[in-house]
Amino acid sequence: MVSKPKRVFACTSCGAQHPKWLGRCPDCGAWNALVEEVVASKEPARRAQGAFADPMPLPQAPRAAGARLATGIAELDRVLGGGFVPASSVLVGGDPGIGKSTLLLQAAAALARQGHACLYWTAEESPAQVRMRAERLQALAEDVHVLHAAELEAGEAALAAHAYAFVVVDSIQTVFTEALTSAPGTVAQVRECAHRLARLAKERGFALALVGHVTKEGAIAGPKVLEHLVDTVLLFEGDRGLAHRILRAVKNRFGAAGEVGVFEMGDAGLRGVDEVSRFFLAGRTADASGVVALAALEGTRALMVEVQALVAPTAFAQAKRTAVGADAARLMMLAALMEQRLGLAFSQHDIYLNVAGGLRLVEPAADLAVALALVSSLSNAPLGGDLAVFGEVGLAGELRPVAQPQARVHEAARLGFRRVLLPAASLARVREALAKAKLGKSPELLGARTLKEALELVGLGRSGLR
């Protein structure tokens, strides 16, 4: 006899359990924190005390099952760290219409072509809609099965009956389990379904890809609900009005977090961009003031992006600071620092900062580029198109070394930049690497110890300021 699963409402803030939903947790007083949960039976816990409880020497631990499933879609494989990992789960998040379904259907078709059985489980669209998309993508493959179901139990039965290597669930917010009374898409449902699917992936050995919609606050299905349940979280970003999309690994147990892939949406789906730096620098007006080429590092890849600033006298009581694609707090810090230490009158100017191409810079190595862009715009003095820069700026105005300086210089050189401005502390390491790499023409290296020195080296020192 199957007994009905027992349910409780657990507080996400203090962990207390209550028999029914309440607006406020009586134990800790948190509002809206109670989430429905299925009480797990105690049976499995007792069994687990058997053979597996013995510690073992690390070399005797079993190896990971199977090789990675490389899709051959280079930008996707790069972000995953080489491909999907069997028995693991990946969450792909992003705004509606950004291309999540497209990308995962393309991935499934690519894996099917290599002979892997794939399941595209859709709770959102009809099989006819999936077929139509597949035809458009040239992804109509015999080895891609489609399942249309919204109940978790129905999908679980299908997964138990067939052996799949790769399973897409589109989307986790529309799948629901009958074990909970909560509505589909609620935190309780999403968490329970994702948890059971991830566990099934481990047991059955398939690679699982969950599609997740991003909430208005930018989190995937509520505050971090899913992120710790899965091994890898990929976020699809980009303006729906623009053709290109950026896929970023926010978390990855099997690869570098922060890795990005760049795609273009076309008539036949998403296509990886081969020359990422050229792509981000396209349309560059190198002789304008306020623009600086930054040698950035995203994950393990160095790439060139343009940082743009517009500094204009303010008409407001308090000057505006706006950052698109960059950290607003760091922008304010840099403006305040230059005001204090270099006497530049940023407090009387509005600042608009933009990273061209829709990339979001998260590393402090962008500081020097931001600072130079601000000064260049303020003084209306172009820096010239042959200069690339990188480096973190400290509160004392010092230039701090950043990760992978040699990879950054190498990428700048490859794209024809003839001068690279960098923290002096990285010079030795870069020179050594350049000597080994035997570049045809090495760029001129300008090492600076402070922001002030950096400005002087590129002609924006006190005398250069107007």
Binding site for ligand TYD (CB under 6 A): 94, 96-102, 133, 136-137, 265, 267-269
d(CA 79, CA 226): 19
Query: Least distance to Mg ion from the beta carbon of 443, Å?
Result: 44
Q: Are 362 and 257 in contact (CB under 8 A)?
A: no
Nearer CB in complex with ligand TYD: 96/127: 96
Separation between Cα atoms, residue 196 and residue 67, nearest integer Å: 24
Tell me, by CB under 5 A, how many residues bind Mg ion: 1
Q: How far is the CB of 240 from Mg ion (least distance, A)?
A: 13
The tokens describing 20, both together, are 């029914």
The residue type of 402 is V
CB of 129 to Mg ion, least distance (A): 9
CB closer to Mg ion, 71 vs 101: 101
Give the C-alpha separation, 381 to 464, whole Å: 8
Please report how close the Cβ of residue 209 comes to Mg ion at its closest, in angstroms: 12
Backbone Cα Rg of the chain: 26
Beta-strand pair 244-252/260-266 = antiparallel
**Which of ligand TYD, Mg ion, none is residue 29 near (CB under 5 to 8 Å by kind)?**
none
In angstroms, the CA 106 to CA 86 distance is 18
185 to 120, 215, 254, 335: CA distances (angstroms): 19, 11, 28, 43
Do residues 161 and 187 make contact, with C-beta atoms less than 8 angstroms apart? no
Nearer to ligand TYD, 101 or 182 (CB): 101
CB of 212 to ligand TYD, least distance (A): 10
- Of these partners, ligand TYD, Mg ion, none, which one is at the site of residue 269 (CB under 5 to 8 Å by kind)? ligand TYD
Of 130, 111, 78, 62, the closest CA to residue 257 belongs to 78
Q: Which does 98 bind (CB under 5 to 8 A by kind): ligand TYD, Mg ion, none?
A: ligand TYD
Residue 102 binding target from ligand TYD, Mg ion, none, CB below 5 to 8 Å by type: ligand TYD
Report in angstroms the alpha-carbon separations of 151 from 105, 147, 163, 209, 226: 21, 11, 20, 17, 19
Cβ 103 to Mg ion, closest distance in Å? 10
Query: Residue 94: which of ligand TYD, Mg ion, none does it interact with, CB under 5 to 8 A by kind?
Result: ligand TYD
Residue type, 110: A
- Beta-carbon contacts of residue 192 (< 8 Å; ≥ 6 apart): 37, 38, 177, 179, 180
89 binds, among ligand TYD, Mg ion, none (CB under 5 to 8 A by kind): none
Q: Which does 223 bind (CB under 5 to 8 A by kind): ligand TYD, Mg ion, none?
A: none
Q: Report in angstroms how near the CB of residue 198 gets to ligand TYD at its nearest.
A: 21
Examine residue 186 and tell whether it contacts Mg ion (CB under 5 A): no
Per CB under 5 A, the list member of 71, 88, 89, 101 interacting with Mg ion is: 101
Binding site for Mg ion (CB under 5 A): 101
